[in-house]
Every structure is written in structure tokens, then in C-alpha cells.
Amino acid sequence: MKVRETMAFVGEPVAAPNMLIERLAASYYPLVLVANDSNHIETLSKRLFEQTPNADVEVLECAKEGCWEADIIVLNDILSVNDGLIEKIKAVANQKIVVYLIREEEQSPSMIEAVGQLQHRLSNTIGVQLILDSETKEFHIAGNKEATSIIENILNAIGFRSLISEIEA
């Protein structure tokens, strides 16, 4: 049996990450939820355990600890990532996949620039852009070929349709 990758979701999850987190939890992927607003995360965590009593979900406020435990780091809210968070992640994310989660309606020149800056600042990580089409509920994936394949396999395993972009992120 294949060991499932532990995924850390960093930042306040909104509709798109919640949907992804719920399916991952229901498929028993080990999850670490990291956010400063523990009330929102606690509510989400409680809902996950109600839906999937044996879910493997841990809630942490410390980004460094949460990212250290993870194989894959997912940044939920790219525009709110600050210097302190980057330093905490950078310290433990060497050679890990970092997923930049974007809703299609959020795509803009400032978002593209923010992702580029984050990837540059987290240069020892493997960046993958994951863009959700809110209408079709499909994910578009761009980035390192091996990393996009890993992310695509996870998404397909939990019932999402994904399309890999030919453009490397």
C-alpha cells in the first residue's frame, strides 16, 4: 500500500481550499491545517471529523511546525503571505512541493507577480500552480513536470478532474 503524502494547508481557507480539504480528508490523506484564525480552522476541523470520523487532520498555529511535518505545502491565500511566514516556511520546505492555490477569478497580473515573487523567495522548493475553475470544478496545474504529476494523481484519486498546463511555473 502506497503511503499518502501529508499535506499542510497554510493560510485561511476559503471555498476552494475547503472543498479540496474535505475531499482529501474523506480519502484519509494526512492533513495539517495551519492558520492564525484558529476559530475558522477549528470549525473546519470539526466539520471534517463529523463527515469523516477517522480523518487524519491536525490543526496547528505554527507554520514552521506544520510545514516541517508535510510532504506538500499548499498556500491558500497567496496575497496575504508575509515575510514572517515566508521565513518560517523557507526554513523547513527545502525540496518540498509548494502549491500556489488560485481560483480562476483571482488570476490577475498582481496575482501572477505575487506567485512569481513567492517562487523566487522559496527558491529551494518545487513550485506548482493549482488554478481552480469555479464553474467546472476542474483544476489546471502548471509547474515542475514530476511535481505536477504527483498533484494530478492526488486530485484524480479524490475525484477531481485536472488538466496539466504545458507551461512550467
Q: Is residue 1 part of a domain?
A: no
pLDDT for position 3: 77
Q: Could you tell me the CATH number of the domain that includes residue 115?
A: 3.40.50.720
pLDDT for position 152: 96
Q: Is residue 86 part of a domain?
A: yes
φ and ψ of 108, to 5 deg: -160, 165
End-to-end CA distance of the chain: 31
Block means of pLDDT (10 residues each) for the chain, 169 residues, are 85 74 95 80 88 93 93 89 90 95 84 90 94 86 94 95 70
pLDDT for position 13: 65
Amino acid at 3: V
Q: Is residue 126 part of a domain?
A: yes
pLDDT for position 104: 82
3-state secondary structure (DSSP) of residue 82: coil
pTM: 0.91
Its domain, for residue 107, covers 7-164
pLDDT for position 78: 85
For residues 102 and 36, the answer to whether their CB atoms sit within 8 Å is no
Report how many helices (DSSP H) and strands (DSSP E) the chain contains, helices first.
Answer: 6, 8
Residues near 95 by beta carbon (within 8 Å), at least 6 away in sequence: 124, 125, 126
Reference 69, options 59, 80, 77; nearest CA is 59
Distances (CA, A) of 46 to 19, 20, 22, 152: 15, 16, 11, 27
Count of domains forming the chain: 1
Q: Is residue 2 part of a domain?
A: no
pLDDT for position 38: 64
